[in-house]
Structure 1
């Protein structure tokens, strides 16, 4: 089994700053709400400390899980419960769901599947899994930390196939990439996006975004991290502390890559991509060729989430519980939202007309345009 690094981002941060403490975050100045937004509702789940948080959105339903094993489906219109389940085991990954079946992975190396909030099966995995399972086509796909990819029948838990891929000896304890693109299952393995036949696990194509570099295992670590930006057959993603780039998923061809030093995924549309670097710089790239459209140091040293592009805003959470709305055109501040003061735990998401953010203390907040 591969050895998991528990906090590579933190390790990288210390080496970047040349000491044990990071520079002081930049002062933000007064908030001027150019884009009026109001808090519509709040909800609560258990603590999210120690679990990889992915908020799953399907229509007006958001599904998420706490570190202690509570899984909740909430109505994004009201913040109210649709269902809750308590698995009574610590979790390792976020949630995958197709609206009926919901899947999570545990710290003990199992995948657990629920049907309408009721557990129906759990099965062992070759290793822990930090990437949220993908539930699609009546199957559950799991990308484990040893770079194995497994497919299970969603109704019964029967293992349909497993693909094992050798890689570097260290892995990143962080959510990666596992998604469906047409009839192809796309996973991030080391520094590559790999397309699989979902019926049997046969590889259809591989597209390298980054290659191992350096002289030791830590320096040579390269992984694709989520979230990604998909427009049609174009998938754009980040390789941890190495590059951002785009791939044509129909052909498995790399369109372009650009050097980038970030640890969180990216988001965007058919024109622009947005990402946060490890020092808090926010960057916009042109999707067509990867050239830089703008960069902003306004949020430097604030431990930022990956961004969400929402209308005219780029929405980013930070480690103090603030949610920043920046202009997609030039990063000018549009508004700043407050939560409970604990770090924003996951990339913000949108469900219907509601912006949803989740904090490490388990606060779930719904915001809407005023």
Structure 2
């Protein structure tokens, strides 16, 4: 079984300026180091019952996929340019399009318009199984477009934010900030809180006016540290946990923290060495460290509540909080259900044996997981 490791550095061009991109290091084992053996899976007694109710397929997923949920539908894509909207109750296609161009980021959807970004730096918007428009952005993109309020927002690898009209593709505005020399090949942060577009820019959450792109506030979750560009790399990674006006997020290998997005005020930060996003509920935040240790933090102040090492070195996805369960995928295609209360194992759901390629999602009462080989699996409680 292959494990993620360092990938070669790449460059992305924007307006004649070279910006170096560094790949995500799931597991962060270090170049040339002997990789620790993943934790052996223990026998499980199913304390939360679930069954696979359907499966479907897209092509291989070789980019930072975000599975977009709207009501009882889920939008997915493959690296070769297949984009599909599925009924999460049955797994059947609502529509499917073959764009025949490699995908770099996606999928964003509001249930009507779906959007992806190609490796040729084109934003492509789709509706009812047909292409609406294409527009170019000036840098590679690794974060799924955010579709809301009749607009499509794109966070590019140079940390510019672009806004397009959802139906016509007309560019409405662009917000460009000074760009650091390194960014991650990993999904960043973009969501709406009230009438504010909240975006991760380096180690900060920023609140933007969605109509003009002007910045209303900034709140730092992490600051650059170290003596070289790699050590000083700071980026916020998805997914995030939102409860009301409070957004909690992870800074890659640095910290987690929470911000009041109505006021733009930082509530707290705590050191944390993870590489994937977090999820949570009213009381807890859940996530994993780079070595696969799964943790729960108190949402109010970031103090640790529990940890478990039963999934160490299994290259975990970001988690999903679903009822009493913390749902998390691994490199071997298993979806693990841990207890929200103490991290104990509640169930384990197999897929096709390839890595879970995106954070699991919940659509209605269906848990959906997508694998690297393009398998889409729907699980329902028994």
TM-score scaled to structure 2, two decimals? 0.94
CA distance, structure 2, for counterparts of residue 163 and residue 105 of structure 1 = 18
Matched, 1:118 2:134: no
Query: TM-score, normalised to structure 1's length?
Result: 0.97
Unaligned runs of 5+ in 2: 1-13
Q: Secondary structure at the match of 1:213?
A: coil
In structure 1, stretches of 5+ residues that fail to align are none
Alignment partners' CA distance in 1, 2:216 and 2:109 = 25
Residue matched to 2:38: 25
Aligned equivalents of 1:31, 1:94: Cα separation in 2:
34
Which residue among 337, 348, 360 is the counterpart of 1:336? 348
The answer as to whether partners of 1:191 and 1:222 remain within 8 angstroms in 2 is: yes
Say which of 143, 151, 155 aligns to 1:131: 143
1:87 match: 99
Equivalent runs, 1:1-370 vs 2, <5 Å: 1=14, 3-9=19-25, 12-14=28-30, 19-49=32-62, 51-370=63-382
Instruction: Name the SS of the counterpart of 2:29 in structure 1.
Output: helix
Structure 2 Cα separation of the partners of residues 197 and 112 of structure 1 = 23
Give, in angstroms, the shift of residue 10 of structure 1. Answer: 5.3
Cα 1:9/1:170, change in 2 over 3 Å: same
Distance 1:11 1:170, change over 3 A: farther
Q: How has the CA–CA distance of structure 1 residues 11 and 75 changed in structure 2, closer, same or farther, with 3 Å as cutoff?
A: closer
Q: Is the 8 A contact 2:286 2:296 kept in 1?
A: yes
* d(CA) in 2 for partners of 1:282, 1:288: 19
Give the Cα–Cα distance (whole angstroms) in 2 for the partners of residues 108 and 260 of structure 1.
35
Q: Distance in 1 between matches of 2:61 and 2:34?
A: 24
> Matched residues in 2 for 1:82 and 1:306: separation?
27
The 8 Å contact of residues 4 and 172 in structure 1, kept in 2 or not, is answered as no
What is the CA–CA distance in structure 2 between the aligned matches of 1:216 and 1:11, rounded to whole Å? 21
Distance 1:78 1:4 in 2: 43
Please state how far the C-alpha of 1:363 moved relative to its aligned partner: 0.3
Per the TM alignment, residue 72 of structure 1 is displaced from its structure 2 partner at its CA by 0.3
Instruction: Report if aligned partners of 1:192, 1:224 keep a CA contact under 8 Å in 2.
Output: yes
Aligned-residue Cα RMSD (Å) equals 1.1
The DSSP-based 3-state class of the residue aligned with 2:230 is helix
**SS of equivalent to 1:77:** coil
Contact between 2:69 and 2:111, CA under 8 Å: does it hold in 1? no
Alpha-carbon deviation of 1:11? 9.0
